[in-house]
Amino acid sequence: MLLGVLGNSLVLIVKIVCKYHFQCVHWLPLVSLTISDLSCSVVIISGSLLAMLTGGQISPWCEVVSLFKFTFMTSSIGSIAVLCVQRLMGIGSTGSCWSVIMALACFISWVFGVVFGIVPVVYDWIKYDSAEMLCAVFWESVYSDMLVYILCAFSICIFLPFLLMLLCSLLSSAGYGKNCNNSADLSSVAPLLVAFYLLCYTPFAVSELILLGRLDLSPSPEWLRTVSSVMAYLDCGLNPILYCTNQDFRQALFALLWTNRKLSLPEPELTRMAKLDM
């Protein structure tokens, strides 16, 4: 929780205060991802800690935590997918009609997270789960209701961004992306973000697949649910560390932390020469 709150807060400060001292063409999905990770650390992880100390979560806080949990998870994968698409196509976050579409895609990922997160709240499927250390969805209705909800939520909010994220990452790794060789831009951390997101959310996906295979609606094993929560929390704290693998961002961060070091403006670069006819 401390790593996620302090790390993502510091990342936002660096992006705002020191934005002219490192290159970040695709800043919008990165900011969206950082806000999602910071919100998850403040609301969800701290809520789990409080639930462990007090022995559970009560309504309406229980429903709020469940709603935001799915919202932040969906917005995270949506932001990474938008970042991968922008990096592959060479689309900046400002200055073109495509940038407006990318901004709309980030916003839609947040909206879909809220929509699918509020459905279990409306139908009263939320209960506290000591294994997950927070309120989660428990199915007591018929199997078809659970099947329809999980398939719709995964297809729209998880599977589609996952395909975009994986396809764009593979194409960028093969050298087809317009900005894939620009190591100076902060978007160079995109492959690491994708790899660690897939690693951290694999237990969650496995637990949901196990649930789909059980016709009696019994939940997945407790140890798997615990691992899925811990790994999801770990992802929020790891992302600030991944940003620091970019040299320019790391230098801007160090310069901000140690105020006796002055940020140096980048040297002017000759990009074009024109011949004048007399």
CB atoms inside a 10 Å sphere around CB 194: 22
Task: Name the amino acid, one letter, at 274.
Answer: A
What's the mean pLDDT when you consider all of the chain?
Answer: 84
Asked if residue 140 is part of any domain, the answer here is: yes
Query: What percent of the chain lies above the pLDDT cut of 70?
Result: 90
Asked if residue 37 is part of any domain, the answer here is: yes
Instruction: Convert 2-59 into a string of H (helix), E (strand) and C (coil).
Output: HHHHHHHHHHHHHHHHCHHHCCCCCHHHHHHHHHHHHHHHHHHHHHHHHHHHHCCCCC
pLDDT beyond 60 at 263: no
Q: pLDDT-based confidence at 260, cuts 50/70/90? A: very low
Asked if residue 258 is part of any domain, the answer here is: no
Per the structure, the complete domain to which residue 199 belongs is given by 2-252
The tens digit of pLDDT for each residue in 135-179 reads 888 876 778 888 888 888 888 888 899 999 989 888 887 777 666
Asked if residue 144 is part of any domain, the answer here is: yes
Asked if residue 259 is part of any domain, the answer here is: no
CA–CA–CA angle 114, 120, 122 (5° rounding): 90
